[in-house]
C-alpha cells in the first residue's frame, strides 16, 4: 500500500484529502504544520509527500519539500497551493509537481500514482 503524508494547516482540507486518498486505497498520515511534518519525515517512511505552501509562514511548504528531498529513498513531493507558483520557483526546490487547490482534486490519487508508479513498481521506496 502506498503511504502518503499530507501537510496542511487547514483541518477541513486535511480531512477532505485524507478521505479522497483513503477511498483510493492509499495509507494516509496527516500533519497540521510544516514543523510537524519535518519531524515525522525523520522517523517515518512515505512514498509521497503532499504539502501546502502557506502554513506557519508564506513559504513553510518549502521546509517540507527540502526535508523530504534529502531522504533516501526519496519520496515523490507535491506542492498543493491555492496560490499558483511559477515553475521557475517551485521546481528548483526539489518538488516533483504542483497542484493548485480548486482544480479537480478527485484526480489526486491518479496523479500521485502516476508520480510514484515507476518507483513503486521496482520495489524501491521500502524501508
Q: Which of 53-57, 70-74, 83-87, 93-97 has the lowest mean pLDDT?
A: 83-87
Domain count, the chain: 1
Across 2-27, average pLDDT: 96
Positions of E strands within the chain: 3-7, 27-31, 48-52, 76-81, 97-100
- Let me know: does 44 contact 5? Beta carbons within 8 Å: yes
Q: Which residue has the cell 503532499?
A: 50
Residue 97: is its pLDDT beyond 80? Answer: yes
Distance CA 119, CA 123 (A): 7
pLDDT band at 5 (very low <50, low <70, confident <90, very high): very high
pLDDT in the model for residue 118 = 65
pLDDT in the model for residue 14 = 94
Is residue 78, in this structure, part of any structural domain at all? Answer: yes
Output 115-122 pairs: Cβ under 8 A, ≥24 positions apart.
Answer: 115/48, 115/76, 115/78, 116/2, 116/47, 116/48, 116/76, 119/47, 119/73, 119/76, 120/2, 120/47
Is residue 53, in this structure, part of any structural domain at all? Answer: yes
Is residue 100, in this structure, part of any structural domain at all? Answer: yes
Is residue 127, in this structure, part of any structural domain at all? Answer: no
Q: Which domain holds residue 44?
A: 3-121
pLDDT digits (tens, 9 = 90+) for 17-59: 999 999 999 999 999 999 999 999 999 999 999 999 999 898 8
The CATH number of the domain holding residue 50 is: 3.40.50.2300
pLDDT band at 120 (very low <50, low <70, confident <90, very high): very low
pTM of the model: 0.88
Is residue 126, in this structure, part of any structural domain at all? Answer: no
Amino acid at each position: 500500500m502506498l503511504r502518503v503524508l499530507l501537510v496542511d494547516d487547514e483541518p477541513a482540507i486535511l480531512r477532505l484529502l485524507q478521505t479522497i486518498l483513503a477511498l483510493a486505497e492509499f495509507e494516509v498520515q496527516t500533519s497540521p504544520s510544516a514543523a510537524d511534518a519535518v519531524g515525522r519525515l525523520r522517523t517515518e517512511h512515505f512514498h509521497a509527500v503532499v504539502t501546502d505552501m502557506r502554513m506557519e509562514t508564506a513559504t513553510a511548504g518549502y521546509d517540507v519539500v527540502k526535508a523530504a528531498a534529502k531522504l533516501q529513498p526519496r519520496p515523490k513531493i507535491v506542492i498543493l497551493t491555492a496560490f499558483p507558483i511559477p515553475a521557475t520557483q517551485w521546481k528548483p526546490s526539489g518538488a516533483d509537481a504542483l497542484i493548485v487547490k480548486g482544480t479537480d482534486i478527485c484526480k489526486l490519487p491518479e496523479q500521485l500514482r502516476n508520480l510514484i508508479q515507476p518507483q513503486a513498481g521496482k520495489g524501491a521506496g521500502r524501508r
